Structure 1
């Protein structure tokens, strides 16, 4: 069973020079691909997602939350040095956490079953999210079965969509 299946996912392709020194990126790539690559793992501080705060919720149907992107954070050091932006993985992680909560409410309101994100698809990262911006994240149940829920995900900044996706979340151990 895969940890998370991702399909039909796209994001913006922009000139590297706008975000990072190409020579520094090349050197880091060569280091990471070479025999002498450091084995440090990831810093928990660097990977920490911005806090997500509930705005409103209709249990088992819809949830809306806000995420305030900090002005500075450890992950901006390499994402990206010339023009920091919120890593898309952190935005998608926040969206999927809401999807899992929503699926759990829709399928097993008792809270006795452990749920997980099984699949994300039709993901489109439409725009970059910059330090200091407030992101509104919405998750809405589209369909429910005894084993999983299909959920629509959106994220917006200032009323403009920055991300859309579909997710499937279900009981752990089922795909």
Structure 2
């Protein structure tokens, strides 16, 4: 990786768009091994309107979704170049744990490791931190689909 991937770069790999693209930058990437990504959590996020109006907290399910999106970039970048453009489907979550709330102003850092990849399936292990403190973790299962 020559430089961090911006959100524009990330959108080359993921079909997600605003308001559902939840990764702002890829900081480190070792295809087939690991990825480190970042999400800036701002009060402008549409989910804060209802979760919760007087005490905004990022929903845990969206933290896991952001982790899965970062993992999706890792999976795609681990494929041969002719397979880039394939869709990666989120298939399951194991061992999800939430340790502390994520609030506006936080910067989420995701560190995702590829546990194994075989055929069209991948298993990833992820940790989300804020200021070096673990806020969430999970194992994510993904399936590689056809190119659209």
What is the TM-score with the length of structure 1 in the denominator?
0.65
Q: Does 1:64 align with 2:33?
A: no
Three-state SS of the structure 2 residue aligned to 1:54 is strand
CA contact (8 A) 1:121 1:167 kept: yes
Contact 2:38–2:109, Cα closer than 8 Å, also in 1:
yes
Of 133, 141, 144, the residue aligned with 2:114 is 141
Aligned to 1:130: 103
Alignment equivalent of 2:124, drawn from 146, 151, 156: 151
Aligned to 2:139: 166
The offset of 1:115, in angstroms, is 2.2
What is the Cα deviation at residue 109 of structure 1?
Answer: 4.2
Q: 1:116 aligns with which of 77, 89, 94?
A: 89
1:94/1:164 CA distance change after superposition, 3 Å:
same
**Counterpart Cα distance in 1 of 2:69 and 2:39:** 13
Give 3-state SS (helix, strand or coil) of 1:92's partner: helix
- Does 2:61 align with 1:89? yes
Residue range with higher mean Cα deviation, 103-112 or 64-73? 103-112
The alignment covers a number of residue pairs equal to 129
TM-score after normalising by structure 2: 0.76
Structure-2 change in CA distance of 1:49 and 1:145 (3 Å): closer
Q: Is there any run of 5+ residues in structure 1 with no aligned partner, and where?
A: 1-43
User: Distance in 2 between the 1:124 and 1:116 partners?
Assistant: 21
Confirm or deny: 8 A CA contact 1:107 1:149 kept in the other structure. no
How far off is 1:149 after superposition? 1.4
Structure 2: 5+ residue stretches without partners: 1-16
Secondary structure of 1:95's match? helix
Map 1:96-115 → 2, pairs under 5 A: 96-110=68-82, 111=84, 113-115=86-88
Hey, which of these two has a bigger chunk of strand by percent? 2
Query: How far off is 1:164 after superposition?
Result: 0.4
